[in-house]
Amino acid sequence: MKIRFFFLLPLLISLVPTAPSLAAGDRFALVIGNAKYPDADAPLKEPINDARAVADELKRDGFSVELGENLTGDAMRRAFDKLYGKIKPGSVALVFFSGFGIQSARQSYLLPVDAQIWTESDVRRDGFSLETVLGELNTRGAGVKIALVDASRRNPFERRFRSFSAGLTPVIAPNGTLVMYSAALASVVSDAGGDRSLFVQELLKEIRVPDLMAEETLNRTKMGVTRASRGEQVPWISSSLAEDFSFIPGAGGSRPATPPPAPAPTPRPQIEAALPPPPPPVKPVDPVPAPSTDGGPSAAALADDPTIKSLTAKIAANPDDVNALYRRGQVYASKGAYSLAIKDFDDTLRINSKDVEALNNRCWTRTVVGDLQAALKDCNEALRLRPNFVDALDSRGLVNLKSGAVKNAIADFDAALKINPRLTSSLYGRGLAKQRNGSAQEGALDIANAKAMDPNIVQEFASYGVR
């Protein structure tokens, strides 16, 4: 699917009679900060502080606010249902979410802290579709629907799909909706490690400026984030508002004193001139010529792929952009360009030798191309850094299976299945290992169960050179 990036500037709204201003009681907000995901290496540092700061600001702006922290799936469902129940015709409904999000089937999903994500179908089962949330708010009669989503983080789930699925996807939202992501479509940013995210810092700064309509507030936020990050992080905005709306009721009314108003936004040509200039066109260069044993496509053959092209430009501008290197490695691996993927994982690990996800991905990729000794070393290091890392157990099981160490393979697949009994690759791999170890009947049962769960598993293993 071709990924397109849309960056919307403020809409020019014709002068038409506006609806009467909404009373404070007609503004409802649900603010969620999810930080403690068991699948992540450590709790995220920003979402809780960000959610509390946004909730406090919205209360000052006349919103009735519900604040949720580290919500499970059941708790998120109850929180959304409570918000839906408050909506009256013409209400303003705002959702702020900070945590992990992921795209699936062209929709963006917000993830609770207890999400069990192993396959892409699990995303749709455990996640909350932003489109569904906005649609329900519209059905309940909300006149203005606003979603502020700070979930464009490199998440711990995407590696499990053996494919590229980073970032969020465009929202097909009903009329009267304003949506903002903290980063561009299909892109991710790292948790900065501070008390607040750059996105929320700029958002709060602009919300406090009086006499701004909401679209202008968010566009100023976008410009602030873009400048502060030197073009590395560019938020995405989509608007279908049909009426004026301001975060500050009365626009300059009875609020406590605020900082001096920021300068009025400049016309579009000057705004664009103020942004950092885009990097010069870069002719992608094949970092490592694909060896004949690889058999996959070369860098030149993939140079026009829109995702690879974008990532290559980022790497050219900053060779130490670890997120871009890791993501391009994933894309290369998903397209069978294994030598190119290994090179990108090499560079990722040069920058951060303790990146267990990159170690696991390089282990798996090296296994596919038959570099089993190096692959085993990678998986062992990943498991040393994160014991019981299920993905590395699964990958090491494949290493042992290909190398003929079937007893070790069975032990690794057993350990992975204790953590996730639905991990089809471990179940199928264990079946093959059991058959090769002389337990034909037990192996056949594992294989049959795996094929029932995923009919494509046989073809997947064949692509790894395992039949």
Residue 463 has pLDDT above 70, yes or no: yes
Whether residue 337 is contained in a domain is answered as yes
**What pLDDT is stored for residue 273 in this prediction?**
31
**What pLDDT is stored for residue 274 in this prediction?**
36
Same domain, yes or no: 268 and 336: no
Same domain, yes or no: 179 and 75: yes
Q: Report how far residue 254's alpha carbon sits from residue 260's, in angstroms, rounded to the nearest whole number.
A: 15
b/e map 71-81, b = 16+ CB within 10 Å: bebebbeebbe
Whether residue 41 is contained in a domain is answered as yes
Q: Report how far residue 333's alpha carbon sits from residue 377's, in angstroms, rounded to the nearest whole number.
A: 19
**What pLDDT is stored for residue 20 in this prediction?**
39
Q: Which residue has the higher pLDDT, 402 or 121?
A: 402
Whether residue 2 is contained in a domain is answered as no
Residue 117: count of CB within 10 angstroms of its CB? 24
Those residues with Cβ within 8 angstroms of residue 374's Cβ, 6 or more apart along the chain or in another chain: 366
Q: Report how far residue 441's alpha carbon sits from residue 289's, in angstroms, rounded to the nearest whole number.
A: 45
- Distance between terminal CA atoms of the chain? 31
**What pLDDT is stored for residue 48 in this prediction?**
96
Residue 246 has pLDDT above 60, yes or no: yes
Tokens linked to 254: 């009875």
**What pLDDT is stored for residue 162 in this prediction?**
55
Q: Report how far residue 207's alpha carbon sits from residue 28's, in angstroms, rounded to the nearest whole number.
A: 16
Same domain, yes or no: 268 and 390: no
**What pLDDT is stored for residue 163 in this prediction?**
52
**What pLDDT is stored for residue 160 in this prediction?**
66
pLDDT band at 22 (very low <50, low <70, confident <90, very high): very low
Same domain, yes or no: 189 and 310: no
Domain boundary among 218, 239, 274: 274
Same domain, yes or no: 328 and 184: no
Same domain, yes or no: 317 and 443: yes
Tokens linked to 435: 């058959």
**What pLDDT is stored for residue 333 in this prediction?**
84
Whether residue 452 is contained in a domain is answered as yes
Those residues with Cβ within 8 angstroms of residue 390's Cβ, 6 or more apart along the chain or in another chain: 416, 419, 420, 423
Query: What's the structural domain count of the chain?
Result: 2
Same domain, yes or no: 257 and 327: no
- Domain harbouring 335, CATH code: 1.25.40.10
Residue 367 has pLDDT above 80, yes or no: yes
Q: Find tokens 């032990």 and name the residue.
A: 411
**What pLDDT is stored for residue 348 in this prediction?**
93
**What pLDDT is stored for residue 269 in this prediction?**
33
Whether residue 293 is contained in a domain is answered as no
Q: What percent of the chain has pLDDT over 90?
A: 49
Kindly state the average pLDDT of the residues 333-343: 88
**What pLDDT is stored for residue 104 in this prediction?**
81
**What pLDDT is stored for residue 184 in this prediction?**
87
pLDDT band at 296 (very low <50, low <70, confident <90, very high): confident
pLDDT band at 349 (very low <50, low <70, confident <90, very high): very high
**Average of per-residue pLDDT values in the chain:** 81
**What pLDDT is stored for residue 81 in this prediction?**
96
- Domain harbouring 151, CATH code: 3.40.50.1460
Whether residue 5 is contained in a domain is answered as no
pLDDT band at 257 (very low <50, low <70, confident <90, very high): very low
pLDDT band at 191 (very low <50, low <70, confident <90, very high): low
Kindly state the average pLDDT of the residues 410-439: 91
Strands 107-110 and 144-150: unpaired
Q: What percent of the chain has pLDDT over 70?
A: 82
Per-residue H/E/C for the chain:
CCCCCCCCCCCCCCCCCCCCCCCHHHEEEEEEECCCCCCCCCCCCCHHHHHHHHHHHHHHCCCEEEEEECCCHHHHHHHHHHHHHHCCCCCEEEEEEECCEEEECCEEEECCCCCCCCCHHHHHHHCEEHHHHHHHHHHCCCCEEEEEEECCECCCCHHHHCCCCCCCCCCCCCCCEEEEECCCCCCCECCCCCCCCHHHHHHHHHHCCCCCCHHHHHHHHHHHHHHHCCCCCCCEEEECCCCCCCCCCCCCCCCCCCCCCCCCCCCHHHHHHHCCCCCCCCCCCCCCCCCCCCCCCCHHHHCCCHHHHHHHHHHHHCCCCHHHHHHHHHHHHHCCCHHHHHHHHHHHHHHCCCCHHHHHHHHHHHHHHCCHHHHHHHHHHHHHHCCCCHHHHHHHHHHHHHHCCHHHHHHHHHHHHHHCCCCHHHHHHHHHHHHHCCCHHHHHHHHHHHHHHCCCHHHHHHHCCCC
pLDDT in tens, 144-186: 999 999 998 877 776 666 554 567 888 888 899 999 999 988 7
Kindly state the average pLDDT of the residues 402-428: 90
Kindly state the average pLDDT of the residues 90-101: 95
Same domain, yes or no: 110 and 239: yes
Those residues with Cβ within 8 angstroms of residue 23's Cβ, 6 or more apart along the chain or in another chain: none
Residue 288 has pLDDT above 90, yes or no: no
Those residues with Cβ within 8 angstroms of residue 162's Cβ, 6 or more apart along the chain or in another chain: 333, 334, 460
**What pLDDT is stored for residue 17 in this prediction?**
35
Kindly state the average pLDDT of the residues 330-350: 89
Residue 422 has pLDDT above 50, yes or no: yes
pLDDT in tens, 112-156: 999 888 877 888 889 999 999 999 999 999 999 999 999 988 777
Same domain, yes or no: 433 and 393: yes
Kindly state the average pLDDT of the residues 52-68: 95
CA angle 149–151–152, rounded 5-degree value: 115
Same domain, yes or no: 252 and 354: no
Kindly state the average pLDDT of the residues 329-338: 84
Kindly state the average pLDDT of the residues 399-415: 95
Same domain, yes or no: 28 and 152: yes
Helix 322-334 vs helix 338-351: angle between axes, to the nearest 10 degrees? 160
Q: Which residue has the higher pLDDT, 294 or 403?
A: 403
Whether residue 290 is contained in a domain is answered as no
Range of 244's domain? 24-274
Same domain, yes or no: 40 and 174: yes
The whole model's pTM is what? 0.59
Chain Cα centroid distance, residue 125 = 17
**What pLDDT is stored for residue 64 in this prediction?**
96
pLDDT band at 380 (very low <50, low <70, confident <90, very high): very high
pLDDT band at 249 (very low <50, low <70, confident <90, very high): confident
CA angle 361–129–204, rounded 5-degree value: 90
Whether residue 83 is contained in a domain is answered as yes
